[in-house]
Copies of this chain bind each other. A is one copy, B any other.
Amino acid sequence: MNVAEQTRTQAQAAKEAAEVLATASLEQRNAALQEMSAELIAHEDAILAANAVDIESARADGTGEALLDRLMLNSERLAGCRQALAELCAIPDVLGEVICGRTITQGIHMKEVRVPLGVVGMIYEARPNVTIDAASIAVKTGNAILLRGGKIAQRSNEAITVALQAALRTVGLPVDSVQNLDATDRASGNELMKLHGLVDVLIPRGGTGLIKTVVENSKVPVIETGSGNCHIYLHAAADPTMAHNIVMNAKCQRPSVCNAAESLLVDYSVAEELLAQIAPELVAAGVTLICDQDTLRIARAAGVTDDMLREATDEDWGTEYLDMQISIKLIDGVDEAVAHINKYGSMHSDAIVTSDFETAQKFTSGVDSAAVYVNASTRFSDGGVFGLGAEIGISTQKLHARGPMGLTALTSTKFILEGNGQIR
């Protein structure tokens, strides 16, 4: 059997497992999570040994240190995963929730009930902790999951899957509920994207290239996640201290994540005053400023040296740097800010700083993003922070789920209708 056939066979097994999982009780699903935690301890040596081989092999192939760090597992990181499992256990069940219900024509009782999606496919990069997170969230929500991680994490993911399947076996749930695909071959990912009818949703998590490939090629419905070209807009009525704090936090606190700021818009009328302070501070923190003409002038006047400045091109307004760089543009009022963000943004998280009520309203209703902020940092965009429980990712599409996705993003609904012989 080649890898494509193997993938299809695994998906078929996942579909059968999903039918059993769909009617598993909350107690059984939570017991599986507890057993997963125990099996991760029991299998820790095997997992770390497999991970060490992955790391060694990736390093020999010239993989960079940042990627190696993401790939690396140790006791502390596995303990973090077990902590997440314990927290997931404590989250109330989302299955069976009655979304709405009423008595319809001829006295038929109708209710719309939350049910699992079925089979979830996850395509992601070389972060083995995602394997544990994704598998446990799937089981909590009654879904089977096919995991297609990064090629360089294959041994780690396989060892983790062995542990997770042992847990499923212990509690009497189908072991095929959690399966690791062969990530060493492109064929597994390509086949996964073709399995319309077997796989109910594909969630790509990772870089822009990975997500674009999946969106463009998948016949299975996709939830697009991730890329965040987030803006901070400093309105004429912005409080200067607040403006300063929010820009510095959104840009510098953790520049590599999707909810970090990538672009700064400033009203002309207050640009000199605000940027004279903020520009040098950003530079002092190590941020390169990618500026329009007016901002270049203001930054130079404020003492910023040319090695930390670059003139922006049109492409910059649409770029997610994920790095110590920020694009800066002067604009004329909230309407222009809204238009700019809707044109160049990625519909992730965008913020305005203003003390004017009507301007804030215009911004929140006009900006077409998953999360729109007034007077707060975009860095809060996170399922945990939003109180959604576990987070599977941040959707930047409008269909099905938008913004930080909690457990309900892995569910669908069905209508149940009960009668006593009604016909039409």
Contacts and interface: CB of A to CB of B under 8 A. Distances in A.
A270 B249 CA distance: 71
A420 B375 contact: yes
Could you say how many copies of this chain the assembly holds? 2
Given A19-B342, A118-B368, A373 B417 contact: yes
Interface in A262-302: none
A418 B368 CA distance: 16
Given A414-B402, A418-B374, A424 B253 contact: yes
Nearest to A108: B376
Interface in A332-354: 342
A423 interface: yes
Interface string A231-256: 00000000101100110111001000
Contacts of A370: 414-415
Given A400-B400, A422-B377, A369 B219 contact: no
A417 B249 contact: no
Nearest to A196: B215
Contact of A215 (B112, B200, B219): B219
B423 A377 contact: yes
A245 B421 contact: yes
A28 interface: no
Given A19-B368, A104-B387, A200-B398, A380 B221 contact: no
A413 interface: yes
A222 B398 CA distance: 12
A364 B109 CA distance: 13
A60 interface: no
Contacts of A19: 342, 366, 368
A376 B420 CA distance: 7
B108 A418 contact: no
A350 B414 CA distance: 12
A416 interface: yes
A421 B376 contact: yes
B414 A380 contact: no
Nearest to A224: B221
A399 B399 contact: yes
A79 interface: no
Given A108-B380, A110-B386, A216-B219, A117 B398 contact: yes
Nearest to A250: B423
Interface extent on A, as a size class? 35 or more
Given A398-B118, A424-B253, A372 B414 contact: yes
A329 interface: no
A412 interface: yes
Interface in A361-401: 364-366, 368-377, 379-381, 385-387, 397-400
B201 A242 contact: no
Contacts of A371: 414-417
A187 interface: no
Interface string A110-147: 10100101100000000000000000000000000000
Contacts of A398: 117-118, 200-201, 412
A219 to B, nearest CB: 5
The interface centre, meaning the residue of A196, A200, A397, A417 with most chain B CB atoms within 10 A of its CB, is A417
B400 A399 contact: yes
A186 interface: no
B421 A246 contact: yes
Contacts of A250: 423
Given A375-B420, A376-B417, A380-B424, 4 more contacts: A117-B399, A373-B419, A379-B424, A380-B422
The 7 closest A-B pairs by CB, nearest first: A376-B419, A249-B423, A398-B412, A400-B400, A242-B421, A379-B424, A376-B422
